[in-house]
Structure 1
């Protein structure tokens, strides 16, 4: 009966190259941090939207800009950890990862709307969070494709000649 389903010791999960996955995760964190800074500069500098700072703080704002960039990087690293666990232990890990990233991005987009800032600031921050979520999700999904090495399918046991 074992021959029909593959050998009992064969793993059905692919092999994950953790160093490649985490290197991609660190690169994604760097991209997310820089994207957050660029988004804040565009919002404040081009559109005059108060993102994370009072109106008189200028284009660079205050320390919140740095913390927002660090937060984006930490979210990318946390997503890498979730992706690694999903790759190791779940069937269809990229499907689950897509759902996790979509729902996390929706939460990040809704979060600005519980603050007392102006509507323009809330809308721009929600849009920036959307772009960050899409960037993190797509970069990590691409990294997962290169970091996963499929296992060879188990060959059935040879049939005895009669």
Structure 2
């Protein structure tokens, strides 16, 4: 069976495959956030996202942060799906958008209050989440954009 190109000659997209990868990426992003906070607070004794008295797991902000990281992965999946369906060279645009968003997320802790160690730890976590989202979704997008039989 020969695949039918979508309107405008864009390659067909295996949307189910792309969104399954997006969901898996969301789980990875959330886990990176949780593990990063556990390492920062438990191993390096750096208070990230919670006052020092909250312990290794922190407070409700830890789970909120993890959920926002997961949401970022799902938003990135939607963006990639849109780019695959509508733009020439979608992976170049996706790379630039995710790269710049990651740089913004990495710089954000330095415009807020807090001690330098907390800012550095949050920056490292944000960078790890951004790199994971960008790399995992780029490879999933290439797989989903291949010819579907």
The structure 2 residue matched to 1:88, chosen from 78, 85, 88, is: 85
Q: 2:40 aligns with which of 39, 43, 48?
A: 43
2:115 paired with 1:118: yes
* TM-score with structure 2 setting the length: 0.92
Q: Does 1:71 align with 2:68?
A: yes
Q: Secondary structure at the match of 1:73?
A: helix
Where do 5+ consecutive residues of structure 1 fail to align?
A: 1-8, 152-162
Q: Which runs of 5+ in 2 are unaligned?
A: 1-5
Q: Which residue of 2 aligns with 1:17?
A: 14
TM-score by length of 1: 0.85
Q: Distance in 1 between matches of 2:147 and 2:119?
A: 43
State the superposition RMSD in angstroms.
1.4
Cα distance in 2 for partners of 1:57, 1:10 equals: 54
Point out the structure with max Rg over C-alpha.
1
Report the CA distance shift for 1:67/1:146 in structure 2 as closer, same or farther (over 3 A). same
1:88-147 per-residue CA deviation (whole Å, 9 max, x = no partner) reads 000000000000000000110011111111001001101110010000100000101111
State which of 98, 101, 106 in structure 1 corresponds to 2:103.
Answer: 106
How far off its partner does 1:78 sit?
0.3
Secondary structure, aligned partner of 1:52:
coil
Greater percentage in helix: 2
